[in-house]
Amino acid sequence: MSDAEVAETRYIAFTSRKGQAVTARLIVRRVKRLNEQAGRGQDELFASWRYYPTFTDSPYAMLQAEEQHRDHAVPEQVNADLIDGPLAHMPSGSFAANAAWLTLAALTHNLLRATGCLASAFHAKARGATLRRQLIAVPARIARHGRGQVIFHLPEHWSWQQAWTNAFTATCHPPPAHAA
Residue 42, domain member (yes or no)? no
Model pLDDT, residue 34: 72
Model pLDDT, residue 175: 65
CA–CA distance, 2 with 101 (Å, rounded to integer): 39
Three-state SS at 167:
helix
Model pLDDT, residue 49: 83
pTM of the predicted model as reported, rounded to 2 decimal places: 0.58
Residues in contact with 10: Cβ distance below 8 Å, sequence separation at least 6, in sequence order: 23, 24, 25, 26
CA–CA distance, 112 with 120 (Å, rounded to integer): 13
54 plus 108 within the same structural domain: no
Residue 112, domain member (yes or no)? yes
143 plus 111 within the same structural domain: yes
Mode of pairing for the β-strands spanning 141-145 and 149-153 = antiparallel
Number of domains, the chain: 2
Model pLDDT, residue 1: 42
Residue 150, domain member (yes or no)? yes
Residue 80, domain member (yes or no)? no
Q: Which domain holds residue 28?
A: 5-34+48-71
158 plus 120 within the same structural domain: yes
The answer to whether the CB of 163 falls within 8 A of the CB of 119 is yes
105 plus 52 within the same structural domain: no
Per-residue pLDDT of the chain (180 residues; tens, 9 = 90+): 457 889 999 999 988 888 889 999 999 999 887 766 666 666 767 777 888 898 989 899 998 988 888 877 777 788 888 888 778 877 888 899 889 888 988 898 899 999 999 999 999 988 888 999 999 888 888 888 877 788 888 888 888 989 988 998 888 876 666 665
Residue 82, domain member (yes or no)? no
127 plus 66 within the same structural domain: no
The answer to whether the CB of 29 falls within 8 A of the CB of 6 is yes
118 plus 62 within the same structural domain: no
122 plus 152 within the same structural domain: yes
